[in-house]
Structure 1
């Protein structure tokens, strides 16, 4: 079944960039690119080591805007447009919430393998594993 609205979570990694390329090449449908800013006081952010400050927060927000602007440019080079969004929160929870709140019916994302945890986490990555396991829609993981 062809989706009506595709979401591509983009974190600046090469696999996320491949996920965007795959979504643009595969689906002639609206694509939204989402970058999730992790709060500096969250365990996955540098806030676990450093105290939050305005400069780090501004730098993170500027990087997020660059990522989604680069995605717009990449889509335009292919004759496409993408909607973009930047949200703050836990990456997996924010992606799942965006799916629910914006009528997304397919997610295409990069997978990041790691050294620890279950076989699924090693093959997909922690965020991708959570999204695959909990999303109410089809999820394509690019590896």
Structure 2
């Protein structure tokens, strides 16, 4: 059975990846899912004020689980088996480690939709994962509201798709 890592961060864009995989499952793909979320490392302020690395780690895990709740609910409703993985660090490198550690066959990431110039200047998690991954990576673009409205209208017309 195919094992798919879906990167989620709590945003609507990351849920696009979950919806994409669920559409594939509805079409007959048999798969299990690893929901992967990456938390930023603790700030110096957090380390100085909290002083307990176990508390910081527990807070990161709890925050990550909270941000994956919507994705978990979608997978639960569809009856798709999944596990969760919360990491801390650089998003691209941590996602690559999750893919390897979990033995995933495919990774799915939502695109941020930056233009070519901003991608070059800002860097891109999806670009880095695509470049460095040993497994295929699907980057799911967020549908424009205009495209969605056009699709909805086409479906309402007689003989529409």
Quickly name the TM-score band, shorter chain normalised. 0.7 to 0.9
Structure 1 unaligned runs (5+)? 41-46
Decide whether the 8 Å contact of 1:8 with 1:20 is kept in 2.
yes
Establish whether residue 103 from structure 1 lines up as the match of residue 97 from structure 2: no
Q: Distance in 1 between matches of 2:88 and 2:22?
A: 25
Aligned residue for 1:127?
125
Alpha-carbon displacement from aligned partner over 1:27-86 (angstroms, at most 9, x marks no partner): 42011101111103xxxxxx4xx72254xx566543311123332221111122311111
Give secondary structure in 1 for the equivalent of 2:108: strand
Structure 2 unaligned runs (5+)? 51-55, 142-161
Q: CA deviation at 1:119?
A: 4.7
TM-score normalized by the length of structure 2: 0.68
Cα RMSD of the aligned pairs, angstroms, is: 2.6
Q: CA deviation at 1:15?
A: 1.3
Provide the aligned length of Structure 1 versus Structure 2: 129
Q: Distance in 2 between matches of 1:83 and 1:112?
A: 24
TM-score normalized by the length of structure 1: 0.76
Quick check: which has more Rg, 1 or 2? 2
Decide whether the 8 Å contact of 1:37 with 1:88 is kept in 2.
yes
Aligned residue for 1:22?
20
Aligned residue for 1:67?
67
More helix by share: 2
